[in-house]
Amino acid sequence: MTHAGFFEGIGGFTLGAQRAGIETIYTCEIDEYRHNWLKYYLPHAIHERDINKAQGIRADIYTAGFPCQDTSRANPRGKGLQGERSGLFYPFMDIVCRNKPRYVILENSPMLIYRKELLHILREFTKCGYNAEWQVISKRAFAYPDERERLILIAYSKEIGRSDYSQIFCKTYYQIIRQQITERLELEKSRPKHLDSEKIWQKFITGTLQADTGLPQELVKNEIAGYGDAICPDVAQLAFELIKIFDKNNT
C-alpha cells in the first residue's frame, strides 16, 4: 500500500506509515522548514506546498492533520471549519474527490465532535462516496504521560466490500495492535540513552541550548515546534495497521 500525507508537518504520519510497512510517495506541507525536512527524508517522493494549488497523487491512503487552530479547546471563539486555517479541510476534500484514495485518515481536535463540525466532515465524505468511522485516541493508550487526545477519523470507499460485522476500529484488533506498539516502546525505553531529554528541554527554554550544540537557535525552535504539532507516530501506526487488517478482511 502507498501513503500520501497532506499537512504532513515534520512527518508523524510518514513515520507511522513506515513502521506499518507502508511507503510514503507524496507530501504536501506549506511550512518551509518542515517541507525541506520532508524532501530530505523522502528524496524519492513528490512534494507540494500549497493545499490550494496541490494536485495530489494516486495513493491507497491519504492522511491529513489539517490545522486545528479554529477548532481546538484553546480557541473557544474559533470559527471551526469556516475559519481561515481549519477551513483548509475543504480544498483537501476537493483533492480527495478528484483522486479517490481507498482510505483517508483525518487527525484533529476532539472539539470537532462537540462543536458538531464532525457532521459537516461526514457530509463531505458521503458526497464523495465514502463511509467513515472515528475514535478519540489519547497518547496515554501507549503509556505516555501526557493526554493529547486527538480525533482519528478513517474514511473508506463505499466500493470496498465491507462485511456485516467488520469495522476498522474493531476492539479486538485495536487492543492487539496497541499492545504490540506499547511493548516496542517499553523495549526502546530499556535501551541505554545518551542524552538527558529533561536537561535538553531546560536548556532550550532558558536559551542556552545553542551554546551547547552549536546549532542556530532558530533551527532548534523550528525543530521543537515541528515535534509539538505532529501527530504521535504510534497513534498513526495504529491507524495504518487497522486499515491493513480491514482491507485484508474486506477485499
Asked if residue 142 lies in contact with residue 99, where contact means CB atoms within 8 angstroms, the answer is no
Give the pLDDT band of residue 228 (cuts 50, 70, 90).
low
Report pLDDT for 122.
95
User: What is the chain's mean pLDDT, rounded?
Assistant: 85
CA dist 212 → 47, 131, 202, 235 (Å): 33, 51, 12, 33
Pairing between β-strand 23-28 and β-strand 46-48 as defined by DSSP bridges: parallel
Asked if residue 67 lies in contact with residue 29, where contact means CB atoms within 8 angstroms, the answer is no
13-46 tens-digit pLDDT: 999 999 999 999 999 999 999 999 999 999 999 9
- Packing angle of the helix pair 32-41, 217-228 (nearest 10 deg): 80
Give the pLDDT band of residue 220 (cuts 50, 70, 90).
low
Greater pLDDT, 191 or 121: 121
Q: Count CA within 13 A, CB hemisphere, residue 83.
A: 18
Q: What is the CATH classification number for the domain harbouring 246?
A: 3.40.50.150
Pairing between β-strand 61-64 and β-strand 2-6 as defined by DSSP bridges: parallel
Give the pLDDT band of residue 215 (cuts 50, 70, 90).
low
CA dist 141 → 10, 148, 156, 181, 241 (Å): 22, 10, 24, 10, 16
Pairwise CA distance, residues 90 & 160, whole Å: 24
Residue 61: domain span: 2-250
The listed range with the strongest mean pLDDT (77-91, 142-156, 168-182) is 168-182
Q: Say yes or no to pLDDT of 104 above 50.
A: yes
Tally of domains in the chain? 1
Q: Please compute the mean of the pLDDT values over residues 51-76 and round it to a whole number.
A: 86
22, 238, 148, 26 alpha-carbon torsion, rounded to 10°? 20
Paired strand residues for 63: 5, 105
Greater pLDDT, 85 or 19: 19
Q: Say yes or no to pLDDT of 136 above 80.
A: yes
Count of beta carbons in the 10 Å neighbourhood of residue 121: 20
pTM given for the model: 0.86
Give the pLDDT band of residue 190 (cuts 50, 70, 90).
confident
